[in-house]
Amino acid sequence: MPPVTIKDVARAAGVSPKTVSRVMNAEAHVRPAVRDHVLRVVAELDYRPNAYARSLSSSRSYLIGLFFDDPASGYAAEVQLGAMARCRHHGYHLVVERIDRDGPETLDEVSRTLQALQLAGVILTPPICDWSDLTDLLDHRGIPVVKLNSSRTGSSAAVIHIDDYQAARDMTDHLITLGHRDIAFVQGIVSHDAAGKRLAGFCDAMRCAGIGIRDAWIQAGDFSFRSGMAAGDAILSTNDHPSAVFAANDEMALGVLVSAAHRNIAVPKALSVVGFDDAPISRMAWPQLTTIRQPNAVLASVAIDILADPSYQQAGDRPARSVQVPYTFIGRSSSGPA
């Protein structure tokens, strides 16, 4: 069966193809009743406009870039699913790009990609959402940007985030309520805004409870499984190890779990391990991870809504937007009494 065309929609709706085009492009000067009628016909016929053809006819791009440093992570998978579903709703297409911050020619490669694709907007994920060289490049080119899991606004960037600080306090309070006093923390990339807020939330919760923090039990990580395992090795290498470890994301928490398993340290009987994100691996780990659920698919959906808004795509100063979405504490079997 041939695909439905804009002419098919116009014929069924009793309007001109130009009117259908205006409705699909969210242009002004279309009466609400006509817009609603056309959108109903579009839904009934399951019309999917061709992004390339729309770009040619309207001088607007219908491609949105989603930039990751690690597109293979569980976090990235959830973000992509949310973004793709919302792109489909708005008639956009998603372009996923890996950004290697340490690559010597990364910015030149990004610049060539931007020139070739003419993106309508870009979603930046952590930790590259806080890389000023990249955000400056996008700002210089006038490309609308939405940053996930950051609270740093820019001249042309909206931000969507959870309250990382309070979420980390809640998780630390959970461990303290269970009787833990010897608690270690595996932090994320120091330059990443959310990672700093999670560390601050942990430290403040400990201080408010009158509990000291050992310097040796604050270990550096980079959000990867490998760094979590290395941190776990450093924390658990002595007999005088903590009774609980809070990792700033689930992949690092999984690394701590493996490090504990190598040393025959039972979780949660002898060691509680908790994470952050509620990535798919948190439910596949054994024991399943206690964690903080940040709704990654929702964050991505909100980002697409902002970028698909014609008023946000207009050149010039864009109004600063900061959207905070709620998080959820998820208690599972990796945490128990001290």
19 contacts 55 by C-beta, under 8 angstroms: no
Residue 111 has pLDDT above 60, yes or no: yes
d(CA 62, CA 297): 20
84 contacts 30 by C-beta, under 8 angstroms: no
> pLDDT class for 17, splitting at 50, 70, 90?
confident
> pLDDT class for 155, splitting at 50, 70, 90?
low
Chain centre to alpha carbon of residue 129? 10
d(CA 134, CA 68): 12
DSSP code of residue 215:
G
Predicted confidence at residue 116, as pLDDT, reads 83
pLDDT digits (tens, 9 = 90+) for 159-199: 999 999 999 999 999 999 999 999 999 999 888 888 999 99
Residue 97 β-bridge partners = 67
pLDDT digits (tens, 9 = 90+) for 47-73: 866 654 554 444 557 899 999 988 777
User: Average pLDDT, whole number, for the chain?
Assistant: 88
Q: Could you tell me which CATH number the domain at 164-293 has? A: 3.40.50.2300
Domain ranges (residues) in the chain? 6-49, 58-162+295-307, 164-293
d(CA 31, CA 36): 9
Instruction: Tell me if domain 6-49 and domain 164-293 are identical in fold.
Output: no
Residue 151 has pLDDT above 70, yes or no: no
Look up residue 301 and give its amino acid: S
SS3 content of the chain, % helix, strand, coil (to 5): 45, 15, 40
* Burial status of residue 298 (CB atoms within 10 A of its CB: 0-12, 13-18, 19 or more): middle
State the CATH class of domain 6-49. Answer: mainly alpha
pTM for the model:
0.77
d(CA 78, CA 83): 9
Residue 35 has pLDDT above 80, yes or no: yes
Q: Alpha helix (H) ranges present in the chain?
A: 6-13, 17-24, 32-45, 51-58, 74-90, 106-117, 132-140, 164-177, 193-208, 225-236, 250-262, 280-284, 296-307, 310-313
Nearest by Cα to 296 from 123, 98, 128, 170: 123
CA 277, 155, 302, 113 torsion-angle sign: negative
According to the per-residue pLDDT averaged within each range, which of 54-68, 130-144, 288-302 is highest?
288-302
Residues present in the chain in total? 338
Predicted confidence at residue 316, as pLDDT, reads 58
Nearest by Cα to 88 from 324, 323, 300: 300
More confidently predicted of 112 and 316: 112
Q: Could you tell me which CATH number the domain at 58-162+295-307 has? A: 3.40.50.2300
d(CA 140, CA 110): 13
